[in-house]
Structure formats: structure tokens, C-alpha cells
Amino acid sequence: METANLAQSTIGLPYPPHNSEVPLETALASRSSCRQFARRFLSIDSLSQLLWAGQGYDPETHRRTAPSAKQAYPLQLQVITGEVGELVPDVYRYDPLHHQLHATGIGDVRATLQSLAIEDQPWLAQAPLVLAISANLSMMTHLFGEQPPQGERGIRYAYIETGAVAENLQLQATALELGSVIVGAFNDRGVGQALDLEAGFAPTALVCVGHPAH
């Protein structure tokens, strides 16, 4: 598979295979939360597969790997890398339509994310990869109506979609023999600032991924 071009701020990802020797039932039965990660690099191929599972897009069918109310697709995936292939540690924005990354230059914020966690969650700093899910809540409120209960329903849909994406990520991690854990207890405003989220966006979940420590 092709490797990422680190000389550019836009980084193409390898094509993600759409088949696996791991049945869905096996992944479901094997999935569990992993909070201890080995000090091993993740491959670019694994990252590519994870991102496709979470927010993949098929240009021929225009289908996505996760459902979205009214096909609004309010979610954004950001990739916080520590030890992933030859990628420079940074925060990258995933572009599902072109299956590529956009470097932000923010740098490695895993320790910052750990400091913003509610209760002690050291895996945020230790995992080689953290995938941050955020949602355009302003768009969803506007799309489904500004006043309750319509506006509240739009926000609810964004969190339902977050759950679908996070589960896709964990099942794909399991199929790749990787460990993962979902983190929802964090300072929302602080995480949004650390990730430099655009106005209207709010962080909805963090998913830590890496090789399990045995």
C-alpha cells in the first residue's frame, strides 16, 4: 500500500479493504474496553481502516458507514497522533469524501486531553492514537428547529450518530487486533479549545486506540 506523503499538509491514505477474515459476530463477541496500551506504533494502514469504518464514504453509492438523521452528517473526526506510522505527532482532520488527512499544526495534545479528563484517565496520554468525534450542534439545532423539543431532538440525533461511529471504530479495532476505549468524561469547552474546533462544534467522544499491553 502507498505511504503517507509527510511533505504536504494534505495526506492521502491507503485504500481501505472492504473485507476481513474476522466475522462481525467474532468482533462483537471479542470487543472490550482496553485501558493499557503497549508502546508500539500503529500502521498507516490500520489508521486508514479505522477512519473508513468510522466515517467511510463510497463515491459510487454515496453511502456512509454510519447512519445520519436526514443525511445531515454533522460529525467530524480528528486524528490525534503520537506513534502512528511516519506521521508527525499532530491533530489531523479527516476528510471522508477524499479519504485523506489535513494537518493542523496544533501538535500532540494527548497530555492536554488527559489533563482535561474528568477523573484520572491516563490512557488518553498513553494510547498512540486518539480519535476525537465532534458534532456541529448548531447545525443540527437549526436543521431540526430552534425551539424545544425539535432543537433538542437535533442534538440527540448528533449523539446517537456519535455512538454509531464510536461502535464502528471499536469493532474495526477489534478486527485489527487492536485495543480501544471510549472516553466521554471530559471538559467539553477545554477539549474543544485544545482541538481548535470551529464555531458551533462540540466534542462528543474520544476513542483511544493502540496495541493492547499484555
Query: Looking at residue 108, what is its pLDDT?
Result: 97
Query: Looking at residue 145, what is its pLDDT?
Result: 81
Q: Which residues of the chain have pLDDT under 50?
A: 1-7
Query: Looking at residue 7, what is its pLDDT?
Result: 40
Query: Looking at residue 214, what is its pLDDT?
Result: 76
Give tens-digit pLDDT for 43-101: 999 999 999 999 999 988 889 999 999 999 999 999 999 999 999 999 999 999 999 99
Query: Looking at residue 8, what is its pLDDT?
Result: 54
- Three-class DSSP labels, the chain: CCCCCCCCCEEECCCCCCCCCCCHHHHHHHCCECCCECCCCECHHHHHHHHHHHHCECCCCCCECCCCHHHCCCEEEEEEECCECCCCCCEEEEECCCCEEEECCCCCCHHHHHHCECCCCCHHHHCCEEEEEEEEHHHHHHHHCCCCCHHHHHHHHHHHHHHHHHHHHHHHHHHCCCEEEEECCECHHHHHHHCCCCCCEEEEEEEEEECECC
